[in-house]
Each structure stands twice: as C-alpha cells, then as structure tokens.
Chains A and B, each alone.
Chain A
C-alpha cells in the first residue's frame, strides 16, 4: 500500500480551452494545425494511460480519489514507484 506521507498523482490534461490555446500558440494561431496537434496529444495521453495499466498487470491498482482536477492512485507500492520513475505519475508530499 502507499506511503502515508505521499500521494501518487495522475495528471494528463488541464482545462480543454487552455490546453487548446497552448497548441494554438505553438502552431502560430493556425486553427486546423492546432486541432491536429491537440488530437495527437490525446493519442499520447491514451498511450500514457495504457502504459500505466500495463505495468500494473497482476498488481493491485486503485483510484483513491478522482474529483475535479485531482486524481490520486493507490495500490502496489513498488509498481507505483516504478510508475513515478517512468514519469507516468508523480509523487507529492501530503
């Protein structure tokens, strides 16, 4: 189980309007390029999540909290630490 001093945070995106604005800036305000770039980033998010589940194969994984923008995970501590090392989640002091 998790270290009681830390929580393991999953974060894959922010507010959709703000996220898209970042792509617009990166694409010199070209709407179509920004949308394609945003779509590409969503495919990356999907891969990120699939990888996370993959490393927990045969190991316990729980979603401790999913509220608003906050997602914290619980489960097999070694695998959670491995996920931190792989930058799939991050560890935050409580």
Chain B
C-alpha cells in the first residue's frame, strides 16, 4: 500500500456523518477500482484525503457535505466543522451555517420566578400571576410560529436548554423579524 492512498478517518461510532460519508464513498464506482484505499481509525485534526484520492472523490464529498449542511442540524454541522469538511462548501452555504435559529421560551423556573418577583416588588401572588400570564403569552407565540410554517418544512433539534429550528429559511427569517425566533451567530 502506498502512503498516498491512505484515507485517515475518524471512526467514532457516534459520528453518524462519518459512517454516512464512508458508506457513500464505498458505493462509488470510481473508488471500487482503486485497490489501495484504506480507511484508518485515526487522527486528531480532521478527515484527510490524499490528493490522489481527493481527485476521485471531491465532487462526491462536496455533494454529501452540502446535503448535510442544508439540513442545518447543529450537531451535524459541529461534526463537519470538527472534521474540517466545511471547506467543501460554497461560500454562500458556508455563510448560512454561521447562524442558528433558536427558540427561547423559558429558562430555569426558579430564576424566571425570581425575575417576576423582582418585577412585582416581592409580591408573591402578583409575581406568580404575572408568570402565569407569561406562559399564556409564550404559548400564543408558539402557535403563531407553527401557523407561519403551514405547508413549510420545520424540524426541531432540542436538548437540555437549547432548541434549534431547521427548515424553510424564508419562513425562519420572517419568524426572526416577528421576534418569534432568535437568529444567533454560531461561531
């Protein structure tokens, strides 16, 4: 085996993107005629391809990375970044990944209630009623958001205290304009 023919690759079983890309690469007819391709569990600095391999696979990798980028799943984008694969994207698509569309409705309940307590000068009942009103208001905002996405694509990626929205970009931007969704710089 020639050194140039080595593809060094992460193979963390949690990294579904790697599995996805490797599977796609393996299905490429061009690659099947290359006898010396070797996938190695290795490396700290990303997914590397020798130039010789890259000549065969770059268009295909670009297409796969674009597919992943368009889904805008923040976890997947983090992995693409981690693997230094964003370099395969056109600038406009790369730019679009600089932002996340996030939904922020409430924080920690104790802190939220403390805020309403401060707002209502320490009056417990007033604070709780104000907090209750806020839940109703937030519920109405969420319903407005869903109505905006009628017949439009919308996906949610949620975990812990984060909610990321992915879907029709035009509608997401309108939701930002209406302060129903936040647009936050990613990095």
Nearest Cβ distance between residue A37 and chain B, in whole angstroms? 10
Indicate if A90 sits at the interface (CB-CB under 8 A): no
Residues of B within 8 A of A18 (CB): 158-161
Measured as residues with beta carbon below 8 angstroms from the partner, the interface class of chain A is 35 or more
Count of chain B residues near A, Cβ 8 A: 41
Given known contacts A31-B155, A66-B117, A71-B113, A39 and B143 CB-to-CB distance under 8 angstroms = yes
Work out how many contacts link A and B, with CB atoms closer than 8 A: 120
Contact B128 A43 (CB under 8 A): no
Contact B142 A36 (CB under 8 A): yes
Contact B109 A13 (CB under 8 A): yes
CA of A56 to CA of B125, assembled, Å: 8
Residues of A within 8 A of B156 (CB): 20, 24, 31, 34-35
Contact A42 B161 (CB under 8 A): no
Listed by A's residue number, 13 A-B pairs whose Cβ atoms lie within 8 Å are A24-B158, A35-B146, A42-B135, A42-B142, A45-B135, A46-B139, A53-B128, A61-B128, A65-B110, A66-B114, A67-B110, A70-B110, A71-B110
